[in-house]
Structure 1
């Protein structure tokens, strides 16, 4: 049953479900409505990412309209998102989708990729970080960092996920070597996960030239992040106590800024969708509303993605998200229109012990070919080493004779 949940202010007039059957966003994101992606004079705007020859996740996901198996029942109506996806998080089966590889702006859902990059980097979660003016002055949503404050990496990750703090995003990017280094690492990880529609152009998700992802890619990224026990723990928190900072000496009469109990921006978690494991919200004027999250009922975990959508006066975005989760849980377990592929992540970034394993891809021949090639190269190299050792031994025998 669909749970009706409250959320951000709604538009006064209903918004029709966008028609994407003609693939308007296969190559590039929808046109910007503001100047956030205008490049500096003398700079060149990034070109769109190439479209893969083979559709990642299976041929059926090359479609741009609604992709669904009638055996799963009717797809929820009154969905305002241009792109969305429903998948079984454990098996990797894509249950249904709309424009799954359409390219949209992620807004703050890209923070999932930043969080996973930080966790994969091996940064000590107890490491103490002192903020800079660039951190606490970051545009948009904020955790409330301030001068003289001291925050652990765990604090920053929690603020990043729970309240979508852009100040925390900037501070974490510094820990990865600076914004440019952080973006390079984020985009490398996206490539490792086969998220080939994804380019992070800002660590926080603020719109920037070249930024893009897709419903399919967000599902890959979130699924990988949920395999990390620390990420799964943080994103499940409805609240988190965030440290304060002392009075500012440069502000006359200022007093101490005490810590506070921050509250998640995920209303599906906050207002009790059954079995909600957590999720990440996002919004900018160009991205519109975005969301990625998952819930568990019984032994089944369902993941959803919503992109480029809105609440309306009588059709809340959280209600739309709940209806997609309900649809996933109602669908028979054998339904599959595509596959969330398993990425080629380094051994150091392997899933956390005890987490649900990702199934190997059955529909990504490129992955299987690359794995076979690596095995063949390794075998040839091993044989070469054996031959060299044998030759050296023969030479030693001759010298001794």
Structure 2
């Protein structure tokens, strides 16, 4: 057991960097797709955690699989990192290298949405300029936004959540004052959520040197985002009509194939989102949430093997295992609450409530007493010690090739 009285160099560095910034479901194989060229430099994974207290509990810093019960646990998992947790209690049921820092791909858009979703009324309109679309990396996933066309904020968010459109992300970022400002706000938001493994370089999750997150942090983003009814509604939306100029529209479909059941996959029963991603260097990444018999579980899988559909198969297998454990499953750690918030709390929705999508919200409970005393105590020690010391789009003619999601 690591010494819980001593902060690790990794934890101190993370705080210092953050402080200045304001039953089984069968799955079939899908049709193969080719990878598009990448313009960004390779993004290496950061070193694994050093010795010291680990946010959420020391067992989450282990390099081996951690589970309260290994009965029925999938044995052929290839992901470099994964985690499954109870959405309501925050209890982590099983994990593997939960804090390993890896490129997140478009799962980082969950943090983008959590940061900006309440910034603009969703019935407000914006006419896109060429400047709004400048700087989008080559090979990006796009929803099909065109300069000179007017979109509602609601439609832009549909582009982000359904098509993982980097063009929609960049338009919203420019509306927010620019990419640099948005990146700084996302980094500050990550700190508020106590996602200390995350370093934001671009708002869209595209490969950039140093752009990293972890299965633990991505699960934090999903859990907090799902407390917002609008976030919850967007990520579970399967299709929408998107402006094509004038009065014309085209249908867009959610790229989350466990939600859609597309390209040979069967939709996962009870799935309610959240976000998938892909880049050459991140591989496939996925964070999902599913509800069964009144219980909601979260799962994150990062960079599994190259087997077709591995990210979805492994996520589904982990969800199946989690539901099979039942509510009495023993936890190995905890998803911490955001700084300054109690369990289940989320700040007001602000002006975005106007004209926005509505869905039933989710309220989280405090982790059960006693079962997580070790993990919760470590998290509190880290927080206190650290702060005191440092203070595919579907348009006419579907695009071929595999874009970054």
Which stretch of the first structure deviates more once superposed, 97-106 or 316-325?
Answer: 316-325
**How far apart are residue 149 of structure 1 and its match?**
1.0
1:233-270 per-residue CA deviation (whole Å, 9 max, x = no partner) reads 01011111111225xxxxxxxxx8x3211011111111
Structure showing greater relative contact order (alpha-carbon pairs closer than 8 Å, 6 or more residues apart): 2
Answer whether contact 1:6 1:318 (CA < 8 A) is retained. no
TM-score where L is the length of structure 2: 0.74
- Structure 1's 261 and 345: CA in aligned 2 closer, same or farther, altered over 3 A? farther
Quote the residue 1:77 is aligned against. 75
Conserved 8 A contact 1:292-1:304? yes
1-structure distance, mates of 2:63, 2:280: 23
The 8 Å contact of residues 88 and 303 in structure 1, kept in 2 or not, is answered as: yes
Cα 1:155/1:123, change in 2 over 3 Å: same
The residue that corresponds to 2:88 in the other structure is 90
Give SS of 2:100's match. coil
1:263-274 matches, within 5 Å, as: 263-271=253-261, 272-274=267-269
Q: Please say if residues 106 and 213 of structure 1, whose CA atoms lie closer than 8 Å, have aligned partners that are also in contact.
A: yes
Counterparts in 2 of 1:349 and 1:171: CA distance versus 1, 3 Å? farther
User: Would you say 1:277 and 2:275 are equivalent positions?
Assistant: no
Q: Is the 8 A contact 1:7 1:267 kept in 2?
A: no
Cα gap change, 1:10 to 1:59, in 2 (>3 Å): farther
Corresponding residue for 1:28?
none
Q: Counterpart of 2:26?
A: 4
Greater Rg, structure 1 or structure 2?
Answer: 1
**What residue in structure 2 maps to residue 398 of structure 1?**
none
The 1-side partners of 2:141 and 2:296 are apart by 30
TM-score (norm 1): 0.75
* Structure 1 residues 166 and 34, CA gap change in structure 2 (3 angstroms): closer
The alignment yields a C-alpha RMSD, in angstroms, of: 3.1
In the aligned structure 2, how far is the partner of 1:295 from the partner of 1:210?
A: 31
Q: Describe the shift of the 1:154–1:51 C-alpha distance in structure 2 as closer, same or farther (beyond 3 A).
A: farther
Given candidates 281, 285, 290, the residue that maps to 1:290 is 285
User: Deviation per CA, 1:332-365, whole angstroms, max 9, x where unpaired?
Assistant: 3232011001011579952779531252685344
Q: Which residue of 2 aligns with 1:23?
A: none
Contact map agreement 1:5 1:268 (CA 8 A) in 2: no
Alignment gaps of 5+ in structure 1: 13-32, 40-44, 247-255, 374-401
| 1:319 corresponds to 2:316 | no
2: CA distance between counterparts of 1:351 and 1:95? Answer: 30
Q: Which of 339, 358, 366 is residue 359 of structure 1 equivalent to?
A: 366
Between the two proteins, the alignment pairs up a number of residues equal to 334
Indicate the residue corresponding to 1:100 in structure 2. Answer: 98
Report how far residue 368 of structure 1 moved.
Answer: 4.6
Q: Work out whether 1:125 is the aligned partner of 2:122.
A: yes
Structure 2: runs of 5 or more not aligned: 1-22, 262-266, 350-359, 386-405
**Alpha-carbon separation, structure 2, partners of 1:344 and 1:208:** 28
Moved over 6 A (4+): 47-52, 369-373
